[in-house]
Amino acid sequence: MNKNKFIDSIPSIFIVLSVFVLWEILVHIQDIPTWLLPAPSEIFKSLYLDFPKLFEHTLVTLQEILIGFLVALIFGFLIASGIGLSTTLEKSLYPFLISLQTIPIIVIAPMLLVWIGYGLLPKIIVVALISFFPIVVNTADGMKSLDIDMKRLLLTMGANNWQIFRKIMIPSSLPYLFSGVRIAVSISVIGAVIGEWVGSSEGLGYLMIRSKPQFHTELVFAAIFILSAIGIGLFLLVGFLEKLVIPWSRYENSTE
Amino acid sequence: MTITNFEIAIEKVNKNMLFQGQTLEVLQDIDLSIKNQEIVSIIGPSGCGKSTLLNIIAGLDNPDAGAISFQGFNQEERLGSVSYMQQKDLLFPWRTVLENISLSLEIKGISKKDSVEICRKYLSEFQLDKFEKNLPHTLSGGMRQRVAFLRTLLTDSEILLLDEPFGALDALTRRNLYVWFMKLLENNPRTVVLVTHDVEEAIFLSDRIILLSQRPGKVQLTEEVSFERPRTHDIIAHPDFVSLKLRLLDRLNEGGDE
């Protein structure tokens, strides 16, 4: 199993390595200055040399991502439950949700700064806003997609609506919830950076806007590498949790 | 007082349904009385309203006219007082075998400890105990249906309504399951209404067979099945079995050719 996993990941490792090698060669051949485009070797050097600084800012950003994401998950699940339970709520909430999604975060973020001020809270709100939508829409879809015959079965057992919600709607929405969460964790990283971009004194986004005008481009890229690593790490973590929490979901289709 | 001898009494039930903007008469003047612990099969051409009748008895649907009574009492609200099983086993994929069969006990608010105890007893009685922790996707079709039967039985009402419960299984599995099901009923007697399109299955399992006509479904024929219980496979070759089967198939085809 583990050996197979390793073999499966060989192509992607190969692609990443080739990109790095090509990039390195290009920078050297074309003699591109580091402030314009640092070679991967420069970036890794920066990752190593500036590790304490990067680590400190990473912790701040990670904190924003995790809290913001959890807020999105909780509210997303609650609102999806409302949509699943009531058609009236579904009809009245959806336009609001869609308009929420179409508001450019890049415009809202500075406003939040004005309304709430600096600090952790506005970043959490930006992260939550950006990752909220895929969670709500997917989970609500899951709640709506329950097997009608299962519901009828519970009805003949004398179940009430709350029991149907708990015993069918929630479990059948979980696979959908997880695919929403997978999308949400990757974009929540963007949310944190946007939140920091418009005004902050710490975090990877802050480090990037501070390093750019100082021509520490290698530090900007080091931060980007860390952000991708966070994104990939969270994505894998969600996949792992999914297997743990809903081991049955991969077989669900074969049961019909 | 006589009426209380009947577990289920269906009186003059009519049902219309709206289908693609048209009103269809699905059931017409259905009169049917089923005794306690009797096994009654309902057969008929497809679309004759067998499943609709079952849904009405279950309380998932209501008749447009007529009345349903259980043990002599008129039942307006029937949900929760009968067990109902479909062709699809409808095992919840996220629940283990044990958790699936304890579903109805959970709904009734029986404590987890008690319900586990009750379910384990049934699982071991029917040699399913080594599967209690299995998720449904790891079981074969026949096994899944056994689990579904146990879940239905554990709903613990006097009446079992079965809508083609053997329909999705292959012939061999089905035959084994007939015998298994007979044993299940022997140990846990219930009043059973079985909907099926399989004449042999109907004869093998039931005390009485009701043949419904093409839509609108009316009771066209009632046949008693007189074989002693428990029955064995060899009755399939018995002359009475064969002649009853031919008689039913004849009538079934009459309606179908229309």
Peptide bond into B63 cis (omega under 30): no
Output the six-digit token pair for A25. Answer: 């060669």
Per-residue pLDDT at B258: 43
Domain ranges for chain B, please list them: 2-82+157-165+191-256
pLDDT of A255 strictly over 50: no
Q: What is the pLDDT of residues B22-77, one digit of tens each?
A: 888 999 999 999 999 999 999 988 888 899 999 999 999 999 999 898 887 887 78
Tell if the CB–CB gap between B90 and A158 is shorter than 8 Å.
no
Query: From edge to edge, which strands make up the β-sheet containing B159-163?
Result: B83-85, B159-163, B191-195, B39-43, B208-212, B219-224
Residues of chain A in contact with residue B104, where contact means CB-CB under 8 angstroms, are 157
Asked whether residue A254 carries a pLDDT value surpassing 50, the answer given is no
Q: What is the pLDDT of residue B3?
A: 47
What is the mean pLDDT of the segment spanning A186-202?
92
| CATH (domain of A85) | 1.10.3720.10
Q: What is the pLDDT of residue A75?
A: 96
Q: Is residue A134 part of a domain?
A: yes
pLDDT higher for B7 or A164?
A164
| A contacts of B106 (beta carbons < 8 Å) | 167
Q: Do A150 and B136 touch (CB under 8 A)?
A: no
Q: Is residue B8 within 8 Å of B32, Cβ to Cβ?
A: yes
In terms of residue numbers, what domain contains A93?
Answer: 50-249
B6-19 β-sheet, strand order: B22-35, B6-19, B65-70, B73-74
| Residue A194 main-chain phi, psi, to 5 deg | -60, -45
The C-alpha atoms of residue B67 and residue B62 are separated, in whole angstroms, by 9
For chain A, give the mean pLDDT.
Answer: 91
Total count of domains within chain A: 1
Task: Report ipTM for this prediction.
Answer: 0.88
Q: Which of B153, B147, B143 is nearest to B186 (CA)?
A: B153
- On whether any CB of chain B is under 8 Å from the CB of A157, the answer is yes
For residue A1, being part of any structural domain is answered with: no
pLDDT tens-place string over residues A123-157: 999 999 999 999 999 999 999 988 999 999 999 99
Beta carbons of B107 and A254 less than 8 Å apart: no
| Tokens found for residue A175 | 């696979």
Residue B107 to residue A156, Cβ atoms within 8 A: no
Following CA atoms B214, B218, B219, B221 in sequence, which dihedral angle do they give, to the nearest 10 degrees?
A: -40
Nearest to B107 among A152, A163, A247 (CB): A163
Taking 3-state DSSP, the helix, strand and coil percentages for chain B, each rounded to the nearest 5, stand at 40, 25, 35
* Residue A241: inside a domain: yes
Tell whether the model's pLDDT for residue A3 goes beyond 80.
no
pLDDT at residue B117, rounded to an integer: 92
Average pLDDT over residues A213-238: 94
- For chain B, residues with pLDDT lower than 50 are 1-3, 257-258
CB contact under 8 A, B103 and A147: no
Is position A77 within any domain? yes
User: Distance (Å, rounded) from C-alpha B200 to C-alpha B174?
Assistant: 11
Asked if residue A94 belongs to a domain, the reply is yes
Report yes or no on A187 lying in a domain. Answer: yes
Q: In this structure, what token pair is assigned to residue A65?
A: 């991502």
* Cβ-nearest to A153 among B59, B90, B94: B90
Q: What is the pLDDT of residue B5?
A: 65
Nearest to A204 by CA among A214, A188, A189: A189
CATH of region B2-82+157-165+191-256: 3.40.50.300
CB contact under 8 A, B136 and A255: yes
pLDDT category of residue A96 using cuts at 50, 70 and 90: confident
Residue A35 pLDDT greater than 60, yes or no: yes
- A146–B contact, CB cutoff 8 A: no
pLDDT for A253 equals: 52
Are residues B10 and B32 in contact, defined by beta-carbon separation less than 8 angstroms? yes
Suggest the residue from B88, B107, B159, B163 to mutate for an interface test with chain A (most A CBs closer than 10 A): B107
| Residue A75 covered by a domain | yes
Distance of CA A248 to the CA centre of its chain: 24
A92 domain-assigned: yes
d(C-alpha B109, C-alpha A158), whole Å: 11
| Residue A90 exposed, middle or buried by CB count within 10 Å (0-12, 13-18, 19+) | middle
Q: What are phi and psi of B227, to 5 degrees?
A: -65, 140
